[in-house]
Structure 1
């Protein structure tokens, strides 16, 4: 089984890469940061420097890879666009879409994938949290492409995982003490009574890759956030 994970050098993408590699899959990860790529190269099948927002780089990458079984898209522009809408610049709103939705779409266009596509969304797509309008817009758009793509690309399956609060480098914009306090407060309000780990989402990605009768689905991995 050959799996390509774009955005696979940290956080959820890396956890999925390591889990699938441990299962015996041939895993190819991409990322932009050369140091991160060098650090993960021995932990997965191979790692290649590819900027997911660079159309020519993405096209060339998929031409080199050729046909493969499963594609996982875990791009993230970080916390770009986070904050009250009145305080968010139009440039940041556009940047949030440029960093996630549009690279997802272009990767799906170019990938010669035969089994499944799994995209990483976020619980903000279905929540009503002040300060997350831009994130909700981007992730809402990501989730809405899943059902039509599942039909359009069939028999290739298309699904999404939608993480809630996961302890990953995404939160690095917060000082450590602030982050820990925010996680503790979030955990208290969750049915699961904890924030998630990247491995929680990686398990869900593995499930969707292996579940050959599941397609067009959004799988929340949020500790109950969107139902509490």
Structure 2
């Protein structure tokens, strides 16, 4: 059975992707930093195998990859919740921490897993619409997601015939937004749904469908798939 590793696969888009890959016949392994979320996955999705590992920890990810043998599909769905805010008052120490949590963790995971990735395997990264949108207050997090997505084209050539792609979601109804009070979150989702062309805030599974496509379609590489409901085309907020 082919092996898929989803780094950051204990919630949101990562978990939804892991479930989709499992239905496609993969032996799916997910990583998470916290034992509580891993325990939740073990209870809700016993067909997935969880591992406590930090994507930013090269030694931990390399040891995990070695224990799995040959990995056919690597999905990197690592993120943090920091980096938003007006540039004049943006705490650059917080933004550096956000880069550590996402960009450097993506790069660390790729490098650690690469020696164990199948010769015709795939790597799929998670960016975000902020990489190319013009929303006030997103200069920091937009630069972060643009850095992740900028890895795709050069790596697709450098690592060929392995395939490298990314998916760029817009607003997705996941726990990423849990830092907002419920009323503010619901208001923002309603505003977003009214603004984007699809008139809808995405679910994690809708984005995971695109991630699974990028991860498994053998004719797709060097591509950033935009699954943002058209958010890049309009002004939100």
Q: Same fold (TM over 0.5)?
A: yes
Q: Distance in 2 between matches of 1:109 and 1:32?
A: 19
Q: Across the two proteins, how many residue pairs are aligned to each other?
A: 227
Please list the CA deviations of residues 101-139 of structure 1 after superposition, one character each: whole Å capped at 9, or x if unmatched.
111111111212121000000000000001111111110
Aligned pairs for 1:87-106 within 5 A: 87-106=89-108
Matched, 1:144 2:145: no
Structure 2: state its 5+ residue gaps: none
Structure 2 counterparts to residues 20-39 of structure 1, below 5 A: 20-39=21-40
Does the 8 Å contact 1:167/1:197 carry over to 2?
A: yes
Q: Which SS does the other structure have where 1:87 is aligned?
A: coil
Give, in angstroms, the shift of residue 223 of structure 1.
0.5
The reply on whether 1:190 has 2:196 as its aligned counterpart is yes
Deviation at 1:219, TM superposition (A): 0.2
Partner of 1:221: 227
| Structure 1: unaligned runs, 5 residues or longer | none
Alignment of 1:133-172 (within 5 A): 133-172=139-178
- The farther-off stretch of 163-172 and 109-118 is 109-118
- With normalisation by structure 2, the TM-score equals 0.93
Aligned counterpart, 1:59: 62
TM-score of the pair, normalised by structure 1: 0.96
Q: Deviations over 1:111-169 (max 9, x none)?
A: 12121000000000000001111111110011111000000000000000000000000
Distance in 2 between the 1:151 and 1:23 partners? 27
Which sits farther off after the overlay, 44-53 or 120-129? 44-53
| Separation in 2, partners of 1:199, 1:104 | 21
3-state SS of paired residue (1:3): strand
Aligned to 1:127: 133
Contact 1:7-1:73 within 8 A present in 2 as well: yes
**Which deviates the most, 55-64 or 143-152?**
55-64
2:117 is the counterpart of 1:113: yes
Following TM superposition, the consecutive aligned residue runs of length 4 or more in structure 1 with deviations greater than 2 angstroms are: none
Local SS of the residue matching 1:99: helix
Judge which range, 18-27 or 128-137, deviates more.
Answer: 18-27
User: CA separation in 2, counterparts of 1:131 and 1:18?
Assistant: 33
Structure 2 counterpart of 1:46: 49
